[in-house]
Amino acid sequence: MTASPGLGTPQLAAPELLRSVFRRHAAGVAVITARGAKPVGFTATSLTSVAAEPPLLSFGAGTGSSSWPVLAEAEYVGVHILGEHQRELAATFARSGVDRFAEPTSWRTGPEGVPLLDGVLAWLVCRVVARVPAGDHRLGLAEVVAGDPAGAGRPLLYHQGRFNALRD
């Protein structure tokens, strides 16, 4: 750690600094899915609404992830907003080396053949319009083509390295 010029506070190396700061940033939890020879998906806290017209969103995907080879070619993706009752589902899709779509994961094939997870707060099917290089990730930019916002429950959050619920 080094001192910041003029601030007198210790600073971490840039990658650890970014991680440390974003651990303090509460983020909604989503799962991004895509159709391949086998369905793929991953837990994302990088989901962002980009524009209303046309309806665009973005998400970050690691190029070293097991999902990336399918995501790199997918024309459509599923975007699932998880509820506080889905901590285990979020953990499953964050884990490496497991079949994320095996039991107990409940899912079905949705519009454009995209795997859709059951019981989520909301879901979207989006057409990928760009993949922008961003370090060891790609920023996916996608246009909404279908969805359902009518799931019941409260959102799942990610904060301080853990999945959390909103407090009243």
Per-domain boundaries in the chain: 26-160
Is the pLDDT at 15 greater than 70, yes or no? yes
Q: Residue 39's closest CA among 128, 90, 86, 106?
A: 106
Q: Under DSSP, is residue 72 helix (H, G, I), strand (E, B) or coil?
A: coil
Is the pLDDT at 78 greater than 60, yes or no? yes
The residue that leads in pLDDT, 5 or 56, is 56
- If phi > 0 it is left, if psi is from -120 to 50 it is alpha, else beta; for residue 160 that is left
What whole-number distance in Å separates Cα of residue 43 and Cα of residue 39? 14
Contact by Cβ (8 Å): 123, 78:
yes
What whole-number distance in Å separates Cα of residue 12 and Cα of residue 24? 15
Is the pLDDT at 32 greater than 70, yes or no? yes
Query: What pLDDT band is residue 27 in, cutting at 50, 70 and 90?
Result: confident
Q: Please give the class, per CATH, of domain 26-160.
A: mainly beta
Query: DSSP assignment, residue 155?
Result: B
Is the pLDDT at 13 greater than 80, yes or no? no
